[in-house]
Every structure is written in C-alpha cells, then in structure tokens.
Chains A and B, each alone.
Chain A
C-alpha cells in the first residue's frame, strides 16, 4: 500500500463522538478515517455526486468479492455495478457491511423500549443527508468501519468487541466523485464502541502528482 504522509493532507477534521459528517471526495482523492481512541464503529454511506440515485450497495459489494467482510482491497460497488471506491490501506483488518446502522426504532426492539430515546446513527444520517437533498428513503445498508461482526457457517451473527486499536485507520480512494457520509456511531448498548463512543479523525489527500 502507498504510505500517505499526514502532513500532505489538504483536509483534516476531528468528528466528535456521536456526530455526523459529510464531504464530497473527488475521483482519485483518498479519505482516511482514524479510530483515534480505538474500538469506535464508523457508519458510512457513499452516493455518486453526479447522480445520488447511484449509491453504495452492500449486497453488490459482497457478491462481487465473493466474501462477507470488508478489508484491504475491497472495491465498494454501487447499485449500478460500478466501483465507487477501493479500500487502499487498512491497519485494522476487518469491517462489516451486513449489520446496517443503529436506529431509535431498532434499538427499542433489540435492547428494550427504554433505549428508544437515545441518539442513533439513523438520526445522524437523516440530518447529514438533508444537506445533500437526500432523505431517509436514500439510507441503504451501510459500511461499518472498525466494527467486528463475525458470521459463522450456521449463520450465527454477533456484534463483538471492536478489534481496532487507538490510531488504527482505513483509507478509501474514490473512483468517482462521491458524497461520503459518516455517522460516528453513538451506540452504547453493544460492544461496537466498547460501550463508550469516542471521537474520530478524517483526512483527505489529493491524488499523487503524475
């Protein structure tokens, strides 16, 4: 993998715990997401900036690579079968794209009705997507960076403790101009955030000069 120098990044931002973020990542640019304090799930969605009806598709991505997890080299495929971006560096080793995002409504089902009034990723996504003219209708099954959801041959499916250490990062290089949307996951009812949501950092690099 190409090593990128953080000093060369033209954009750096810390996303506070529990908050959303979005930015257009242009073709050839690389977005790095750093799990600053470790064990923090980062929910992400991608939309074509030119035609947001074309968006990240978890099922197309998994089918294309023939395997159930996202890791180094995974191509993120759209619902029109095009590669939107590629995982070009990964110091964590495993990411999920089958478990979706948390919502107030699913939290109430999973953890009891008393958890309904807790902040959730879908609230973040709705707020952030509204800046791009998109709505809840546009939320599809997302990426969960730094989230560990092993699936065993019988189908058992469990969110287990995050395996990312402080400073672990993943690099995503865009193959088209994309609206990249993040929810820094506020979930406190399962181990995806070590029961303690923390800030993350994002950096963006331009493509290396030819």
Chain B
C-alpha cells in the first residue's frame, strides 16, 4: 500500500501533468488549427470520384468507406443539416463516440483539422476540409418527440427513425445507435449553459470532407436539426460524394494537431499494420 505521503505526491504529479496537457490542448503551445476551407476551394478531381448520392430532404443514406477514402457532404441549399453515426466495419461494436471526441480535443466545437474518435481510442474520421466549422455534438438529431414539440406532429420524418431503419438494414438495431454528430448545425452554449442557434453561420454550398481512418459503415440523416427555429421546417438535399484522396503523410495536418490526436492515429495505424 502507498503511504498517504506517496499518494499525495502522486496526485500532485498527476495534477501538474493534467494542467500541462490542458494548456497545450487549449492552444497555449499547440499548432493552430488550419483556416476554414473556402467555398470554392478543394475541388475533387473527376477521376477521384468513386460514387455520389443525393439524400432527399427527410431521408437517409448508408455509405461504406475504405480506410483512406473520403466522403464530401454538401449542404446544397444552406437549409439542410446532416446527422452522422457509424461503426467500424470489421467489429461494429466499435463506433463513433462524441464524448471522447470533445473530451480528448478539449473542445465541443469541431472544424477543419479536427478528428472524430471511436470509443476504442482510435480515429474514426478526420475533417480534412470544412467550410463551415458550425457542427453540433451535444444535442443529437430530431426524434418523434422533438418533431411533436416543434411542429405538433410525431409523424414527420426524423433522424431517430432514419437511424433505426439504417441500423436494421446492416444487421444492427436500437442498441447500436450512438450519439450523433450533426454537420451544418450552428449550436453554441451561452454563458448560462443554454443552447443557441446561430443561423448566420449557415451558407448554401457549405461542405465537409471526412476522411475515413478505418473501414467504416456510415449513416447520414438529412432532417432539420431540432434546434433549427424555422417554422414550417425548411430543408434541402444533401449531396454525398465518395472520393479518393492521396495517402496521408506523417505531417498531415489532421494527424499533428495535438499529442493526444497523434497518439490516437498511432493506435489506429497499429490496428491496420
């Protein structure tokens, strides 16, 4: 057994390390994140496109991505948002994890250069391009309860039922639907802890490029975010383009944003070594 004195010394050493990690993680010494992608930047070479799909307003799509491939998600009209869940193809008990994503990166806001983590200490997706930087990891997608509260009917198409349908079609079910990330959903938390919708941060043509860091089965749902105040609901199509990217090098911006993320990439590489 450790003496009380030894325990206190160990606790103090752990506190010092935590404070150093926090200072680095919140930008004291970390590399600055890259600037947002311009709306007309990062064109996809015609030969790099694998396939494309347009999700009608209210619907969902399932996409399989190989490690290294990317998915461009486009809010064509500036009125849509796209909620995302997914699993690792070889072991679908490993899945997207919003809590670890925000905790490890010391930020509930994700933008170009950030990573989305799995629950196993590995990188699920990297945000290699992002024109928006206005995405939500805290509130989740729409549900029968949220559409009933907002529009007076639980019978509208909603993200929860979209996820349920998509999960069932790949052999999964209600138990397998994790918390989701919603792209193009400008939610922030005010000083009183209340959620705020920042409508001015949505633009027609906003897009993200998500690079798969493992072999993935992804589901995207195109329903109004539950905090979107538009009445009646507004929306538009979400375009998905699956495309090939050049291999990521060791100084890839997404791999080097912080010591934590660098470790998550090392652990992911080991899985496929």
Q: Which residues of A contact B (CB under 8 A)?
A: 53-54, 57-60, 62-64, 66-69, 77, 79, 81, 98-101, 103-106, 108-113, 135-141, 151-159, 188-191, 194-196
Cross-interface CB contact of B179 among A53, A140, A158, A191, cutoff 8 Å = A140
Contacts of B10 in A (CB 8 A): 188, 195
Contacts of B192 in A (CB 8 A): 67
Q: Judging by beta carbons under 8 Å apart, are B140 and A188 in contact?
A: no
Contacts of A63 in B (CB 8 A): 139-140, 146, 195, 226-227
Q: Judging by beta carbons under 8 Å apart, are B17 and A100 in contact?
A: no
Q: Known: A63-B226, A155-B107. Contact between A110 and B21, CB under 8 A? A: yes
Q: Judging by beta carbons under 8 Å apart, are B108 and A151 in contact?
A: yes
Q: Judging by beta carbons under 8 Å apart, are B14 and A113 in contact?
A: no
Cross-interface CB contact of B145 among A81, A100, A111, cutoff 8 Å = A81
For the complex, give the distance between the alpha carbons of A85 and B219 in Å.
Answer: 30
Q: Judging by beta carbons under 8 Å apart, are B144 and A60 in contact?
A: no
CB-contacts of B62-112 with A (<8 A) = 93, 97-100, 102-109
Interface centre among A109, A140, A189 (most CB of B within 10 A): A109
Does residue B169 face the partner (Cβ distance < 8 Å to A)? Answer: no
Interface centre among B120, B179, B191, B264 (most CB of A within 10 A): B179
Least Cβ–Cβ distance between B33 and chain A, in angstroms: 12
Q: Known: A66-B194, A153-B188. Contact between A108 and B144, CB under 8 A? A: no
Q: Known: A66-B194, A109-B260, A110-B103. Contact between A158 and B188, CB under 8 A? A: no
Q: Judging by beta carbons under 8 Å apart, are B175 and A137 in contact?
A: yes
Q: Judging by beta carbons under 8 Å apart, are B189 and A151 in contact?
A: yes
Does residue B55 face the partner (Cβ distance < 8 Å to A)? Answer: no
Q: Known: A138-B175, A141-B179. Contact between A157 and B140, CB under 8 A? A: no
